[in-house]
Amino acid sequence: MRFLLLLLPSVALAAPLSLDDALRMARQHHPNLALAQAQIAVARARLEESRAGFFPGITGTFSYQPQTANFAPTPGFLRALKSSASSTSSLPPPDYTPYSYWVGALGIYWTAFDWGKTAYGFVSARSTVEAQGLSAQATLQQIELDVKVAFYEAMAARASVDVARDALTTQQRHAAQARAFYEVGTRTRIDVASADSDVAAAELTVARAHGALEAADAALAAAIGLDEWKPFELVAPPPPADAPAPEQSALFDEALRSRPEPKELTLRARSMVEQWRSARGQFLPALIIQAGPNWSGTDISSLATNLQVTASLSFPIFGMNPYLVYEQMREAKANELTFLAQERQIRNSIRLETANARAALDSARESVVAARKLVEAARVRRDLAEGRYKEGVGNIIELSDAELAFVNARFQEVRANFDLAEADARLIHALGRR
């Protein structure tokens, strides 16, 4: 009775789930996609930050500066004072009484020209946004592949449970036959013991198949990206098309043309070139224009108003360190070479992935044909062994071997069918198709 409870389907109340449904849910819920979208948002924000350099900024100050009114002449002023007609007059004695002094200013500043520092930085940020979009596309394609593989593995696990249950039912029937023959004296006790052993082995296979099914369902939920896992009743997708794969060179061309990873790395390398140019602009001063009114005076109610316009050539606020700028340029150049090397590496990886996927697909198609033949041959052998055993000319060992061969053949057929589906999914991913 306890074992019968194990055989009860765990998805009795499960909702139906097709492969298209699983892919749609993954696009909506997978955290890696949310992460990719957040990274795109960060890149876009940095793009707008770099765009801000093209527009003027606003400045404003207002300060209260109490100070004494003692005059501190320079040595040159004192010399001129002594040689003048009023040189006999002396400076007033020091007075340390503080006087109020108010200073306020309001204006705009605009970097009119900075030797491409702002412009190249903007182009670099724009390339980064495009590269991040391609990275998100690659993430989506990988998630879709993971969902397909997990879905097919879960389907295979369910089929394996069905095979194991059928095998257990058959072994139980054989055990009942062995007992009946033993009771009438046509078979020995060894036949009953062997049949009971086969039943126990079949029960163990069913238990392991259920464990594999639970693991496969968990892997599918993780691949979809669900926060709360729940059971599903999987709907079998249509079998993959049986059309032969194109030549390898044509597949390589399609994969390198369609996959987003090489394009992403090319854009990131281009971004580093623009960063190098942006850093180079720090070697020369920027032309900054400032304009606006200012107010000053000792009485806050009657401040004197002036208008000031300034055009200046200036380095960054804390000055320019040539050694630092040079190393920033070296870093950008090294990053460019890194991305170019990674782009070459990913192209070779894509070629290898495509070649392996095509070979796996061809092998899987041949394996499906061979597995079907194996199942048919094993079925005939099993039927013959059962007939010989019923007629008393066969023995329990012959029947057990034939039944085991048939069960193993069915397991191989299940594996071959879903290996074909997975190989087709991997080739689609390698080619950058959706």
Mean pLDDT of the chain: 89
Q: What is the mean pLDDT of residues 59-71?
A: 87
Is 101 among the domain residues? no
Spatial distance between the Cα atoms of 381 and 404, rounded to a whole number of angstroms: 11
Q: What is the CATH number of the domain that holds 419?
A: 1.20.1600.10
Q: Which two tokens stand for residue 111?
A: 């970097």
**What residue numbers bound the domain in which 324 lies?**
2-71+116-430
Q: 15 forms bridges with which residues in the sheet?
A: 232
Q: Is residue 368 part of a domain?
A: yes
Average pLDDT over residues 227-245: 83
Say what the pLDDT of residue 4 is.
36
Q: Where are the alpha helices (DSSP H) in 185-241?
A: 189-224
Could you tell me if residue 376 is inside a domain? yes
- For residue 316, is pLDDT > 80? no
How far is 142 from 136, CA to CA, in rounded Å? 10
By percentage, how much of the chain surpasses pLDDT 70?
A: 93
User: In Å, what is the CA distance from 409 to each residue of 379, 402, 404?
Assistant: 9, 11, 8
The answer to whether residue 103 is domain-embedded is no
Chain centre distance of CA 221:
17
Q: Which of 29-43, 66-80, 274-288 has the highest mean pLDDT?
A: 29-43
**pLDDT at 91 exceeding the cut of 70:** no
Asked if residue 85 is part of any domain, the answer here is no
CA 150 to chain centre: 17
Establish if 347 belongs to a structural domain: yes
Contact at 8 Å (CB) between 210 and 165?
Answer: no
Residue 144 lies in a domain: yes
Res. 247: pLDDT tops 90 = no
Q: Domains in the chain: how many in total?
A: 1
Spatial separation of the C-alpha atoms in residues 410 and 34, rounded to whole Å: 41
The DSSP symbol for 52 reads: G
pTM of the model: 0.82
Check whether 11 has a pLDDT greater than 90.
no
pLDDT digits (tens, 9 = 90+) for 377-426: 999 999 999 999 888 888 888 999 999 999 999 999 999 999 999 999 99
Q: Is residue 83 part of a domain?
A: no
Full DSSP string of 243-292: PPP--HHHHHHHHHHH-HHHHHHHHHHHHHHHHHHHHHGGGS-EEEEEEE
